[in-house]
Amino acid sequence: MAPGLDFSDWGAKETRKGTPVVVKMENPNYSVVEIEDPDAAFRPVEKSRGKNAKQVTWVLLLKAHRAVGCVAWIATLFWALLGTIKKRLIFRQDVDMASEKLGKGKLLFTVIKAFLVTSLTILAFEIIAYFNGWHYFQNPSLHIPRTSEIQGLFHLVYVTWLWFRADYIAPLIQALSKFCVALFLIQSADRMVLCLGCFWIKYKKIKPRIEGNPFKSNDVEGSGYDYPMVLVQIPMCNEREVYEQSISAVCQLDWPKDRLLIQVLDDSDDESIQCLIKAEVATWNQRGINIIYRHRLIRTGYKAGNLKSAMSCEYVQAYEFVAIFDADFQPNPDFLKQTVPHFKDNPELGLVQARWTFVNKDENLLTRLQNINLCFHFEVEQQVNSVFLNFFGFNGTAGVWRIRALEESGGWLERTTVEDMDIAVRAHLNGWKFIFLNDVKVLCEVPESYEAYRKQQHRWHSGPMHLFRLCLPAIITSKIAIWKKANLILLFFLLRKLILPFYSFTLFCIILPLTMFVPEAELPVWVICYVPVFMSFLNILPAPKSFPFIAPYLLFENTMSVTKFNAMVSGLFKLGSSYEWVVTKKAGRSSESDLLAAAERESKTTNQLQIQRGASESELTELNRLKAAPVPVKRVNKIYRKELTLAFLLLTASVRSLLSAQGVHFYFLLFQGVTFLLVGLDLIGEQMS
């Protein structure tokens, strides 16, 4: 029981109560005690706030133990990093150099190397000047000594460098940095507007709703329910790890069997995978599911070509809607009943997009950082654009299209690697509206290795710029409102697809380290610290459990700007890798419900054997051999040269910032350089304990 508290006498003066009593004892061994208050003897003795020497010693020892443990942990981490650098960079054990396609990647790498060599040279000059007492860089006015003050040939060279730096290099860097800072502020304002829009949606509880029973038929003599014809497509290519769980999830969709057709669009060039997928389709077909297997002989156009070929079938004309799921997506059984009803009594609606959720988001640091980005994309960008503009970029999967909208917009085109964005833009130009359902979620995977994530991001950032080149004339000449044209050109393409990777790479990876050697163009602290941290805070809001990763998220986003900038340039200028599709490697992760379903399927072996009664014993043996898990291949880490070179450039700049006592700049450059080093050594995707 909590003790009672009486606050009535707190403001009163302290008064003595009772009669003082003096007790004297004849025995001299006893001391004289004066009791002023009868209750005083029964009050708890107040412990002194002071501590004896032994207690202080123990506290200090405990704090020292914690400090030593922290230092030991940091030292162990640093030693492990040095060991990894020695193993992967010097001895090249279990590593492979990441290759660059054509000349554009090598050109960017050459430019970064030139910056690094220049920075090292200037740093050597600055260190020698520092020990000689030529502290001119510490003077904000940059006093350049006169001819009479020259102390030798080296001093003359250094003074000439100061003069050339102040008159020619600093103005150029200042102009470029001001331009990038302006773009940075514009993009930050766009993010804030999106976040305010999201807060307004949450406050007003705005979301698409289904009125009544959308499938109830007006025909009294009929069955009472009228379900539209739905086509489900699962495009895949060499998806050994995930084909089974995706086909299983789609085949369990809650929809009348006679109103549903599933197309498995297999573009695999591995015959063993083709056999496995065919067997899986046959199994579900014998269970009564209306599912067919399609394989193209001429595999052109990547995913767009695959979808285009499937839509050309004659039987597709009988269907009104088409749902698309990539090979790693696992929709819930009620997916169609949560999405298709929105089309009823809404003839202008062309697309209903569901949200992604990730089964492996906690697998390692890389997946956690991807989860932050994608949560912001769906929760903020897609939802706000859906509510206020009725337009957003189709995510390529976990969506339902009205087939008439696809046909009137020109169908799937093979001209870019972002066929989903391409069809969305063309449908928007034709007047179709889109809806995003934030509370309808479909399980999928995010890449677990940096190599797979890097290739995925290259396609996601080169494709939009390639599409922008192709769509710009159509946008300008379209009949939509001017403000919609402005939104497409200025916000959708330029600001969010071009400006973001440009200023992020230029400002934080090039200009910032250079300003350490050209202090006349130094960036203010709010540009490199306060605003980026605030924007990272906004990005993490949709994923509140990721707040401990705000610093790694900020640093990793700056690191990824190299890949995104490289991809943006290749797409904008139509370089060799702008039309390159690399299938994102999947790990085949399953949710807890999937594992339970797998265990249930294992317990029904006899039923499966009856379903496969048409197959001979040799065919079943061959199928089991193909289904056997492949021999695990030892992972070979990649060495990414651009990231490593930028790591050394940033670390060099951090050393230079120490000479001029720039604390915030030093720590930012140091941590950013270490992040580049971890990414360059392919450590960012390592398993988390």
Give the pLDDT confidence of 519-573 residue by residue, as tens digits: 888 899 999 999 999 999 999 999 999 999 999 999 999 999 999 999 999 999 8
* Rounded Cα distance, 319 and 230, in Å: 6
- Tell whether 440 and 456 lie within a shared domain: no
369 and 440 assigned to the same domain: yes
Q: Which of residues 180 and 621 earns the better pLDDT score?
A: 180
Asked if residue 276 has pLDDT above 60, the reply is yes
Of the candidates 267, 326, 328, 422, the residue annotated as catalytic is 267
Residue found by looking up tokens 């989903």 in the block: 420
Cβ contact 447:456 at 8 Å: yes
Parallel, antiparallel, or unpaired for β 399-402 and 349-358?
antiparallel
Q: Are 510 and 478 found together in one domain?
A: yes
Report, as an integer, the average pLDDT of 52-57.
74
Is there a single domain that holds both residue 440 and residue 463?
no
612 has pLDDT over 60: no
Instruction: Report residue 173 as tokens.
Output: 């860097």
Read off the pLDDT of residues 166-195 as tens digits, 9 standing for 90 and up.
Answer: 889 999 999 999 999 999 999 999 999 999
Final residue belonging to a domain, choices 396, 429, 448: 448
Q: Are 500 and 187 in contact (CB under 8 A)?
A: yes
Displacement of CA 648 from its chain's centroid (Å): 25
Residues with Cβ within 8 Å of residue 395, at least 6 apart in sequence: 353, 356, 382, 420
Neighbours of 412 (CB within 10 A): 21
Average the pLDDT over each of 37-51, 182-196, 349-363, 397-411 and give the range with the smallest value.
37-51
In the chain, what percentage of residues exceed pLDDT 90? 56
Final residue of a domain: which of 420, 448, 476?
448
In a domain, 584, yes or no: yes
Q: Please check whether residue 262 lies inside any domain of the structure.
A: yes
Number of compact structural domains in the chain:
2
Q: Which two tokens stand for residue 33?
A: 């005690």
Asked if residue 151 belongs to a domain, the reply is no
- Of 76 and 233, the structure prediction assigns the larger pLDDT to 233
Q: What DSSP element (H or E) covers 299?
A: none
Q: Are residues 308 and 363 in the same domain?
A: yes
pLDDT of residue 87: 66
What average pLDDT is seen over the chain?
83
Residue of 266, 328, 420, 422 marked active site: 420
- Beta-bridge mates of residue 261: 231
Q: Domain check: are 196 and 248 in the same one?
A: no
260 lies in the same domain as 385 = yes
User: pLDDT tens-digit profile of 90-131?
Assistant: 656 656 666 665 445 678 888 888 888 988 888 887 788 777
One domain, residues 419 and 507: no
> What CATH code is carried by the domain that includes residue 290?
3.90.550.10
Mean pLDDT of 638-653: 90
Stated pTM of the model: 0.82
For residue 234, the cross-strand partners are 264
Residue 566 lies in a domain: yes
In degrees and rounded to multiples of 5, residue 331 shows phi and psi of -70, 150
Q: Is the pLDDT of residue 375 over 50?
A: yes
Bigger pLDDT: 486 vs 627: 486
| 585 lies in the same domain as 655 | yes
- Residues 650-680 have pLDDT tens digits of 999 998 888 776 778 899 999 999 999 999 9
Q: What is the pLDDT of residue 688?
A: 44
The predicted model gives 138-143 an average pLDDT of: 50
Question: What is the DSSP code (8-state) at residue 356?
Answer: E
Beta carbons of 243 and 273 less than 8 angstroms apart: yes
pLDDT at 418: 94
Residue 520 near residue 170 (C-beta atoms within 8 A) = yes
Range of the domain at 363: 230-448
- 487 and 422 assigned to the same domain: no
CA–CA distances in Å: residue 586 to residues 174, 329, 406, 481, 634: 45, 11, 29, 42, 16
* 420 annotated active-site: yes
Instruction: Report pLDDT digits (tens) over 298-315.
Output: 888 999 999 999 999 999
pLDDT higher than threshold 80 for residue 402: yes
The secondary element (H helix, E strand) that includes residue 93 is none
In a domain, 32, yes or no: no
Question: CA 472 to CA 252: how far, in whole Å?
Answer: 42
The angle at the Cα of 154, spanning 151 to 159, to the nearest 5 degrees, equals: 75
Are the C-beta atoms of residues 456 and 412 closer than 8 Å to each other? no
Residue 123 main-chain phi, psi, to 5 deg: -60, -40
List the structure tokens of 360. 């492996």
Domain membership flag for residue 347? yes
Per the annotation, the verdict on 267 as an active-site residue is yes
Q: Distance (Å, rounded) from C-alpha 165 to C-alpha 522?
A: 13
